Structure 1
Amino acid sequence: MTTSRRMGEWVRAEDPSAVGAVRRRAVELAEEAGFDSFMIGQTAVAVSEAVSNLVKHAMQGSVMVRLHPEAPATVELIALDRGPGMADVTRALRDGYSTSGTLGIGLGAIARIATGYDVHSLPGKGTVLALHFTAEQADRPPLRASGLTRPIGEETVCGDGYAIAETETATTLLVCDGLGHGHIAAQVSQRAVELFLEMHEQEPVEIVRRLHAGLSGTRGGAVAVARVERDGVLYAGLGNVSGWVAHAEGRQGMVSVPGIAGYQGGRLRQFAYELPGYATVILHTDGLTDRWDPAATPGLFARTPAVVAAGLMREAGSRRDDACVVTARPGHGER
């Protein structure tokens, strides 16, 4: 299965009007995904409750709803905030549990409606919530990979992009940071996505080599490709894209060579890294600082790729640049 970026638009959950806006978008996507009327209604209820909780109890809350990057018949909601967080997520998922000023209110009912969910929360730091809703009889997403983009400042178009290609044995990731911002940079990243989806079965270094040639005549950008297999990852990068193998105890950087895809670059190289079963492969553009530390968010790297990506966007993302982060594991069971 191959997918290009399913971007979604971030909405700040600072005003009650956000509830209706996100609910309407969720209904549109549910109809597009082929949901029946009952499932559309259930999705609308859960999304409304989740965003309403965010508006009432969160600080600096943001939410997006989109078609799931791994499954076109699935609608996904991702919400994140800074504080107050929850000390006991398991208890918060029980019906009737309520602590004033936290997102625990109604979380059990929301999770029961959803096809699947995952949540990470720390007191005083905030909460990340991922929900997905799948059409009747449709395949559920394998939850092996996820990606997020966020444009600079108040812009609506992000110049960074990503793509995910999955087979039974491997997941291949692309991240592209188009030079600059806005529509022109987005054209570069979209071209990189199109090229990648045509040749994703090739070795990462060969994909990067062909991207370098294929982006000639554009503004250019930084690109990285990682192939995540059961026990290892193959990686090739050109320019300022960061690659990591991360887990709760720390992280290992993966090496990109200097240059600009489409313009100039040194000798392209492919590197192989061991991948423990509990580790996550992470690619991100320089819209996320590389100073993030797994130890600063206990438990985050045990969560699904979607929650890891959202947690990193919250912790390391900058509003002064376009940002993109993609995460993957060799395999991850649905929650």
Structure 2
Amino acid sequence: MMTARSALLVDCEDVAWFRDGPDGARGTAAKLGRRIGLGEQRTAELVLAVAELAANLTKHATDGSLLLRILRNHAALAGDVVAGVEVITVDSGPGMADVPAALRDGMSTTSTLGIGLGAVERLADTFTIHSRPGTGTVQLARFWPHPVPPALSGEAAVGGITRPISGEQVCGDAWAARIDTGTSTGVGTAVARVEGTADAGPPLAAAPDWSMMTGGPRQQPAAARSGASAPVHAAVPGPGDGLLVMSCDGLGHGPLASLAAQAAVNAFRTGNGRTPEQAMEEVHRALRGTRGAAVAIARLESDGRVLFCGVGNITAALLTATSRANLLSHPGIAGHQMHRLRTHEYRLPAQGMLVMHSDGLSDRWSPADLTGLLHHPPAVIATALLRQAGTRRDDASAVIAKAAR
């Protein structure tokens, strides 16, 4: 059973989207590899893989895009930060009828073979592909320094993607995740081991557990037991670790929206709040003086309990292969005007996941739109959702968190 403490978390720094021109993608990949010290040979392998993936988009894809970004893992035990490069491609067709055949060496539908997807799979430390005829393809490849540290052997529990509005270089949307260990040394210290941040001071006081004062066990609300929403007054963290996830949409777009989103991310990562409501208060304070933002924060616990607090227009849902249950947010703007915060409690179904996205994606999607995707890494699911529901008339972001159970 995976716990929040054992879950792999990575920070993503979105660097560049490419819609045309494989030469630009190759050059950027080379610069990123050198910048993070990937090593000469590993950087050359990264560039070769990017060249193949970019060329395939040019030759085969409809409305194809390639994303390059830096990953930074914050190893919880050693405290070492390891950087790598992630490549994601996404297109809207025509898709592959036989993915295993496409991965075999020598397989090509054009006269130029290149190195082939099979070689990209061997070069990458992680390679994932999902394709549906008539819908399109999402591919993800990660390149870490060799030898790959043992802490990176698993799949990240949380993954997301951001894309700026057409014509902008920076995005006003952002997402982040951290682990609350609830140790006696202070929540900030525990987060620093995972997220590589400094201790932000003493933790906020937890709300009292009234059941301890009245001699009875703390009862779970009936609606939460049945899977529906239930307001939780003075919510307290459950036993064990918690996985905290945030989605943020800075008002408007462009540099000022990006500044607001980054202020929210910094406050969330360095904060001591253990519940979504406490973390939201910290983000609200940090956003004063900025444009403000719509923000949603969830806490996932190993027993399936989910605490959620949302302010503004962030869509959030608990998803399975056949169901979608929306989570309740309230009007307001973090950093400017928030009414009394409300936390809602839910139950995450077995094999379920948390989905949060900005209004740069339409909320008119269903589980059927993600058929065959839910066993893939969170970043692949988020990318497919962006393709399905995203609009280029606004900044867009989506984040997926799988159950730490």
Q: Quick check: TM above 0.5?
A: yes
Aligned AA (1:157): V
Structure-to-structure mapping, 1:161-200, within 5 angstroms: 161-166=174-179, 169-199=241-271
| CA–CA distance in structure 1, aligned partners of residues 398 and 34 of structure 2 | 28
1:330 is aligned to 2:333: no
Change over 3 Å in CA distance of 1:170–1:116 after alignment to 2: farther
Shift of 1:31: 2.1
Deviates more, 1:302-311 or 1:200-209: 200-209
SS of match in other structure, 1:300: coil
Tell me the equivalent position of 2:205: none
Tell me the equivalent position of 2:87: 77
Q: TM-score, normalised by structure 1?
A: 0.90
Q: 1:313 aligns with which of 377, 383, 386?
A: 386
| CA–CA distance in structure 2, aligned partners of residues 121 and 144 of structure 1 | 22
Tell me the equivalent position of 1:221: 293
Contact 1:150–1:323 (Cα < 8 Å) also in 2: yes
Q: Could you report, residue by residue, the CA deviation over 1:234-260 in whole angstroms, capped at 9, with x for unpaired residues?
A: 211111111111122121111111111
Tell me the equivalent position of 1:151: 164
| CA–CA distance in structure 1, aligned partners of residues 331 and 26 of structure 2 | 44
Tell me the equivalent position of 1:284: 357
Q: Could you report, residue by residue, the CA deviation over 1:121-148 in whole angstroms, capped at 9, with x for unpaired residues?
A: 1101100001101101343263211121
SS of match in other structure, 1:30: helix
Q: Which runs of 5+ in 1 are unaligned?
A: none
Aligned AA (2:40): S
Q: Could you report, residue by residue, the CA deviation over 1:148-180 in whole angstroms, capped at 9, with x for unpaired residues?
A: 111112211211122222468543221111111
Deviates more, 1:194-203 or 1:80-89: 194-203
| CA–CA distance in structure 2, aligned partners of residues 38 and 197 of structure 1 | 34
| CA–CA distance in structure 1, aligned partners of residues 10 and 105 of structure 2 | 36
Contact 1:81–1:128 (Cα < 8 Å) also in 2: yes
Shift of 1:272: 2.3
Tell me the equivalent position of 2:138: 128
Tell me the equivalent position of 1:32: 35
Q: 2:325 aligns with which of 231, 252, 255?
A: 252
Q: Which runs of 5+ in 2 are unaligned?
A: 1-7, 75-81, 182-240
Shift of 1:8: 2.1
SS of match in other structure, 1:8: strand
Q: 1:94 aligns with which of 93, 104, 107?
A: 104
Contact 2:280–2:309 (Cα < 8 Å) also in 1: yes
SS of match in other structure, 1:185: helix
| CA–CA distance in structure 1, aligned partners of residues 374 and 178 of structure 2 | 22
Tell me the equivalent position of 2:197: none
Shift of 1:210: 2.3
Structure-to-structure mapping, 1:12-23, within 5 angstroms: 12-13=19-20, 18-23=21-26
Change over 3 Å in CA distance of 1:124–1:137 after alignment to 2: same
Aligned AA (1:119): I
Shift of 1:100: 5.2
| CA–CA distance in structure 2, aligned partners of residues 2 and 123 of structure 1 | 32
SS of match in other structure, 2:13: coil
Shift of 1:227: 2.1
The structure having more radius of gyration, on CA atoms, is 2
Count of equivalent residues: 327
Tell me the equivalent position of 2:125: 115
Aligned AA (1:278): Q
Q: Percent identity?
A: 41
| CA–CA distance in structure 2, aligned partners of residues 167 and 55 of structure 1 | 44
Contact 1:289–1:317 (Cα < 8 Å) also in 2: yes
Change over 3 Å in CA distance of 1:226–1:2 after alignment to 2: same
Aligned AA (1:203): T
Q: 1:7 aligns with which of 1, 5, 14?
A: 14
Change over 3 Å in CA distance of 1:87–1:105 after alignment to 2: farther
| CA–CA distance in structure 1, aligned partners of residues 51 and 264 of structure 2 | 36
Contact 2:264–2:283 (Cα < 8 Å) also in 1: yes
| CA–CA distance in structure 1, aligned partners of residues 378 and 156 of structure 2 | 7
| CA–CA distance in structure 2, aligned partners of residues 77 and 125 of structure 1 | 20
| CA–CA distance in structure 2, aligned partners of residues 180 and 121 of structure 1 | 33
SS of match in other structure, 1:301: coil
Aligned AA (2:161): L
Shift of 1:261: 0.9
Change over 3 Å in CA distance of 1:130–1:200 after alignment to 2: farther
| CA–CA distance in structure 1, aligned partners of residues 66 and 404 of structure 2 | 26
Change over 3 Å in CA distance of 1:7–1:166 after alignment to 2: farther
